[in-house]
Chains A and B, each alone.
Chain A
Amino acid sequence: AQSVAQPEDQVNVAEGNPLTVKCTYSVSGNPYLFWYVQYPNRGLQFLLKYITGDNLVKGSYGFEAEFNKSQTSFHLKKPSALVSDSALYFCAVRDGGGYQKVTFGIGTKLQVIP
């Protein structure tokens, strides 16, 4: 079975500071990893994905994520946080080896303080 853990319910960061939202995963085959963002009363929006290749993946709105196979992690990062980045962030994983559903983490609320 595949699973995703987001160990922090909430992350607070000052505007202009770098931010990190943590994610670890478990999957039996090769992982396909995703980050999504959800604003209040909205659906989820895709930010970025890792399928294969370079461990540092760049995505929308200046976000990037680093894939670490040995630590089974896929942390989301941004060099300089904006107040508008405040939202709920979801990490997701799928086993790339077959017809598998996408499993989401429980979400991390990011609060950027002006």
Chain B
Amino acid sequence: KAGVTQTPRYLIKTRGQQVTLSCSPISGHRSVSWYQQTPGQGLQFLFEYFSETQRNKGNFPGRFSGRQFSNSRSEMNVSTLELGDSALYLCASSLTQGRGTGELFFGEGSRLTVL
């Protein structure tokens, strides 16, 4: 069974631009979560989607948005990029929504550098 696939793996943008990251979960997984990882902050929760609905949202500004499609694939978008948005963005899927006990399965991440 294929794992969680994130694209692109690496990208470089300049301040003010926007970026869209994509995540394909493990087949059959309906929950997708996004995290931002930076050296000083660890993993910060961005949002969680289940069946195309955002179920949880972290403390990030409105520049960060996401969506989930009917096939469970998810995208996140960051508009008006700032230098501080440089990070590894991780997507994770799980079999059930947050109420479940199942573990998260992570993709390799998309490393965003903002210049």
Do B105 and A46 touch across chains, with their CB atoms under 8 A apart?
yes
Q: How many A-B residue pairs have CB under 8 A?
A: 62
- Is A34 an interface residue, CB under 8 A from the partner? yes
Do A104 and B42 touch across chains, with their CB atoms under 8 A apart?
yes
| Candidates B41, B48, B107, B108; contact of A101 at CB < 8 Å | B48
B residues near A43, Cβ cutoff 8 Å? 4, 6, 90, 92, 106-109
A9 CB to closest chain B CB, in angstroms?
11
Do B98 and A106 touch across chains, with their CB atoms under 8 A apart?
no
B91 CB to closest chain A CB, in angstroms?
8
- Is B104 an interface residue, CB under 8 A from the partner? yes
Cβ contacts A to B, 7 pairs, < 8 Å? A43-B4, A43-B106, A51-B101, A98-B99, A100-B56, A104-B42, A107-B43
Interface residues of B, Cβ cutoff 8 Å to A: 4, 6, 33, 35, 41-43, 45, 48, 55-56, 58, 90, 92, 97-99, 101, 103-109, 111
Contacts A36-B106, A43-B106, A43-B107 aside, 10 further interface pairs with beta carbons under 8 A come to A42-B108, A43-B90, A43-B92, A44-B90, A90-B43, A94-B98, A96-B101, A100-B98, A101-B98, A106-B41
Interface residues of A, Cβ cutoff 8 Å to B: 32, 34, 36, 41-46, 49, 51, 90, 94, 96, 98-107
